[in-house]
């Protein structure tokens, strides 16, 4: 029998307050969460590894007296390790890998009193902006199960949007928190590089592009979770000083008049859907009505070159991920162990020279400096989050012809042939058609957020994207809190809920 029927009327901060007042117990929250997962997950496929009995034991055994004591949490099955629980990263090659320790971020979640109830679906190695791994199958969007939930934190986004949990873990290397937040109509903030820990095993991922945080329905949950988890850990290559005051306090504070730039031009792609353009222009009107100065402006850089350099970096990192997986599993991998696209990208990464990889990353850093100088002149930059409303499931996958080519070449190890065919340039041209803005903030390291302000005529969510100055999550949280009050979204419920 469900333990707490009013569960989705509260965010994580609200549920924790009920626990503190003794109005509900951690076990009741966990039982209600499990009941919702069992009811909703068959339609959404968001949770691919339940930890129900362990969660019940944790809730009954007594929890740390942290700010989120008793609140259920789902963890993305990528990067974040939970001791004694499998971590597959969406890959059949890693099916047998079970870590013997928590990552530092998971340890901080536990110290905050959160109860981990399971792990969520993600594409293989988190490489694409949709969650359709061959191993587990696609995660469906709660607003329309025929459409994508986004990626790579798609399972977490669908779980939060449908009301399974108030918050869920995510990671963002090219938009992987913000993209699914937009697709599923929830809030998603990527913190500044180095704000949250990646230890104890990792110093950085994707040349500093990857940052972990959560997806949430309320802005204050994101802020309060960042308060609970922010800060460097031992050996971290980047260190961000603590903010002047808690981020949760920023959410309720007025931002004052801000200077905000906006554009709808796709930096890394070619086209933008009218619904996404309209969402930005409606947001501009809202911002001006709130007293902000909003002007059309954008940084000057070569998007085509940026896209190619980013793909060179990702190809090299993909090869590194494959070889790390081989060490974890204890055997060499072959084409049958990974999806065709993953293996082909890894072949490209193996074919590239060290000089090509370093040159690409240095050129990205030069772009980051140019974009940073532009950003210093503004409090925030507004764009669409993605270039399309959530498209149909499978529509972003390679064509059957491309799949056949990739698998055939992958079997013969034809990395140089792939490169000669122009596959890298083609991949760079196509990879960012859906996400022509979000990877830029990963390269610059700036904080960025997707805010669920719009829904189109079909009832599909359309997120808008704000990038802040490096290290200035505080301004983004103040702005997001103001927008949340002006155009509330918390009580909007998707059909699968």
Helix (H) or strand (E) holding 47: strand 47-50
Residue whose structure tokens are 């959410």: 251
Three-state DSSP state, 133: coil
384 inside domain: no
Task: Tell me the average pLDDT across 92-99.
Answer: 97
Does an H or E element contain 169, and which? strand 167-172
Per residue, the 3-state secondary structure of 308-322, as one string, reads HHHHHHHHHHHHHHH
What is the spatial distance between Cα 303 and Cα 309, in angstroms, rounded to a whole number? 10
Q: Are 480 and 463 in contact (CB under 8 A)?
A: no
Domain range holding 472?
7-256+447-486
Residue 43 neighbours by CB distance under 10 Å:
14
Do 202 and 328 reside in the same domain of the chain? no
Catalytic residue among 152, 156, 375, 438: 152
Is residue 225 domain-resident? yes
d(CA 86, CA 424): 33
- Mean pLDDT for the chain overall: 95
- Number of structural domains, the chain? 2
Reduced to 3 states (helix: H, G, I; strand: E, B; else coil), residue 115 is strand
* CATH number where 150 lies: 3.90.1300.10
Q: Is 28 part of any domain?
A: yes
Q: Is 118 helix (H, G, I), strand (E, B) or coil?
A: strand
Distance CA 55, CA 121 (A): 19
Give the Cα separation of 277 and 281 in Å (integer).
Answer: 6
- Give the C-alpha separation, 63 to 454, whole Å: 38
The sign one gets for the Cα dihedral 371, 181, 387, 312 is positive
Query: Does residue 152 have an active-site annotation?
Result: yes
- Selected residue with higher pLDDT from 429 and 275: 275
Q: Is 99 a residue whose pLDDT tops 70?
A: yes
Query: Is 455 within a domain?
Result: yes
Q: Is residue 47 part of a domain?
A: yes
Question: How much is the average pLDDT of 95-108?
Answer: 97
Whether 421 shows a pLDDT value over 70: the answer reads no
- Residue 228 belongs to some domain of the structure: yes
Instruction: Give this prediction's pTM.
Output: 0.97
For the stretch 422-465, pLDDT in tens is 776 777 777 799 999 999 999 999 999 999 999 999 999 999 99
Q: How far is CA 439 from CA 202, 311, 401, 412, in A?
A: 21, 11, 28, 32
| Residues 164 and 27 reside in one and the same domain | yes
Say which of 176, 182, 222, 438 is annotated catalytic: 176
Angstrom distance (rounded) from CA 468 to CA 177: 16
Per-residue pLDDT of 242-261, as tens digits, reads 899 999 999 999 999 999 99
**Is pLDDT above 50 for 1?**
no
pLDDT in the model for residue 2: 46
């Amino acid at each position: 029998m469900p333990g707490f029927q009013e569960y989705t009327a509260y965010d994580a901060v609200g549920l924790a307050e009920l626990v503190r007042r003794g109005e509900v117990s951690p076990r009741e929250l966990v039982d209600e969460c499990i009941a919702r997962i069992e009811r909703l997950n068959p339609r959404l496929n968001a949770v691919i590894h339940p930890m129900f009995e362990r969660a019940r034991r944790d809730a009954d055994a007594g929890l740390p007296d942290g700010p989120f004591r008793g609140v259920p949490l789902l963890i993305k099955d990528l990067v974040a390790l939970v001791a004694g629980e499998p971590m597959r990263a969406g890959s059949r090659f890693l099916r047998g890998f079970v870590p013997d320790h928590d990552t530092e971020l998971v340890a901080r979640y536990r110290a905050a009193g959160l109860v981990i109830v399971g792990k969520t679906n993600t594409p293989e190695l988190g490489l694409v902006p949709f969650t359709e791994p061959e191993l587990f199958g696609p995660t469906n969007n709660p607003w329309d199960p025929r459409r994508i939930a986004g990626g790579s934190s798609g399972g977490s986004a669908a779980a939060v949007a449908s009301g399974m949990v108030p918050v869920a873990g995510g990671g963002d290397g090219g938009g992987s928190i913000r993209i699914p937040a937009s697709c599923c109509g929830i809030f998603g903030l990527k913190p500044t590089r180095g704000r949250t820990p990646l230890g104890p095993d990792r110093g950085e991922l994707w040349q500093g592009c990857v940052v972990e945080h959560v997806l949430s329905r309320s802005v204050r949950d994101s802020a309060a979770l960042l308060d609970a988890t922010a800060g460097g850990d031992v050996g971290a290559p980047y260190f961000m000083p603590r903010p002047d005051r808690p981020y949760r306090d920023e959410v309720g504070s007025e931002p004052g008049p801000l200077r905000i730039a906006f554009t709808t031009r796709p930096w890394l792609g070619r086209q933008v859907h009218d619904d996404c353009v309209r969402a930005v222009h409606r947001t501009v009107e809202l911002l001006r009505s709130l007293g902000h100065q909003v002007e059309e402006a954008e940084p000057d850089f070569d998007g085509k070159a940026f896209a190619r350099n980013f793909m060179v970096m990702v190809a090299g990192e993909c090869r590194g991920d494959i070889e790390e997986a081989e060490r974890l599993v204890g055997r060499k991998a072959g084409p049958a162990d990974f999806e065709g696209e993953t293996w082909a990208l890894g072949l490209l990464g193996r074919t590239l020279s060290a000089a090509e990889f370093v040159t690409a990353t240095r050129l990205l850093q030069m772009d980051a400096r140019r974009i940073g100088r532009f950003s210093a002149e503004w409090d925030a930059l507004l764009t669409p989050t993605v270039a399309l409303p959530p498209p149909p499931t499978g529509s972003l996958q390679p064509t059957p012809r491309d799949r056949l080519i990739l698998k055939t070449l992958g079997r013969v190890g034809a990395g140089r042939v792939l490169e000669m065919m122009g596959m890298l340039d083609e991949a760079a041209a196509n990879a960012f058609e859906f996400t022509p803005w979000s990877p830029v903030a990963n390269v610059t390291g700036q904080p960025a957020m997707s805010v669920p302000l719009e829904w189109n005529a079909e009832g599909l969510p359309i997120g808008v994207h704000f990038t802040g100055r490096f290290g200035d999550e505080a301004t983004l949280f103040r702005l997001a809190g103001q927008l949340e009050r002006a155009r509330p979204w918390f009580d909007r419920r998707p059909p699968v809920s």
